[in-house]
Amino acid sequence: MKDDETPTTELPTEFELALNGSGGDTSAGDGEAKNSRVSGWGRILRGNRTLWIVALCAVVSLIAGLLVGRFLISPADASETPEPGLVTVPVEFGPLSNDVTLRADVGYADAVEVTIDTTGGGSIVTGSVPEVGATLNPLSIAMEIEGRPVIVLPGELPAYRTLRIGVSGPDVVQLKQALLSVGIDVGDVSSDLFDQATADAVGQLYAQAGYPLPTPEEGAADAVRSAEEGVRAAESGVVQAQQALTAAGAGPSKLESWQADVRVAQAEKAVADAKACVPGETEACPSVEQAEWDLQTARLERDQLWASKNTGPEKAALDAARAQVGSASEALQDARQSVQPFLPSSEVLFLTELPRRVDAVNVQRGSSISGAVMTVSGATVRLTGAAAEADARLLKAGAEGTFELPDGTEHRAVIAELKPGKDSKARWEVLFEPDPLTAEQITQLQGSNVRVRIAVGATDGDVLSVPLAALTAGPGGESRIEVVESDPRDGKDAETRMVNVETGLAAEGAVEVTPLDGDLEEGDLVVVGR
* DSSP annotation of 365: T
Angle at 203 between CA 148 and CA 232, to 5 degrees: 115
* DSSP annotation of 398: T
Where exactly does CATH 2.40.30.170 map onto the chain?
Answer: 376-458
SS3 category, 403? strand
Contact criterion met (CB below 8 Å) for 471 and 91: no
What are the φ and ψ backbone dihedral angles of 286, each rounded to 5 degrees? -65, 160
Give the Cβ contact number of residue 104 at 10 Å: 23
pLDDT tens digits, residue range 25-52? 444 444 444 455 545 545 555 556 666 6
Where exactly does CATH 2.40.420.20 map onto the chain?
Answer: 461-529
Q: What is the pLDDT at residue 65?
A: 67
Distance CA 328, CA 61 (A): 131
The mean predicted confidence, pLDDT, of the chain is: 83
Q: What is the pLDDT at residue 195?
A: 94
- Strand partners for 408: none
Query: For residue 148, which amino acid is it?
Result: R
pLDDT tens digits, residue range 196-250? 999 999 999 999 999 999 988 778 888 888 988 998 998 999 899 888 877 776 6
Residue 12 has pLDDT above 70, yes or no: no
pLDDT tens digits, residue range 286-309? 888 888 898 899 888 887 776 656
Q: Could you tell me the CA-to-CA distances from 173 to 231, 293, 349, 414 in Å, in that order?
A: 33, 77, 15, 34
Contact criterion met (CB below 8 Å) for 252 and 306: yes
Distance CA 32, CA 335 (A): 154
Interacting residues of 492 by C-beta distance below 8 A, sequence separation 6+: 83
User: Considering only 165-179, 288-302, 307-321, 367-381, which range has the smallest mean pLDDT?
Assistant: 307-321
* DSSP annotation of 124: B
pLDDT band at 11 (very low <50, low <70, confident <90, very high): very low
Contact criterion met (CB below 8 Å) for 37 and 12: yes
Residue 318 has pLDDT above 90, yes or no: no
Considering the domain 376-458 in this protein, what is its CATH number? Answer: 2.40.30.170
Give 28-32's long-range contacts (Cβ < 8 A, gap of 24+): none
Distance CA 73, CA 77 (A): 6
Mean pLDDT of all residues in 262-280: 82
Q: What is the pLDDT at residue 3?
A: 43
pLDDT tens digits, residue range 330-348? 888 888 888 899 999 999 9
DSSP letter for each residue of 354-379 = SSEEEEEE---TTPBP-S--EEEEES
Domain 461-529 fold is 2.40.420
pLDDT tens digits, residue range 98-116? 889 999 999 887 788 999 9
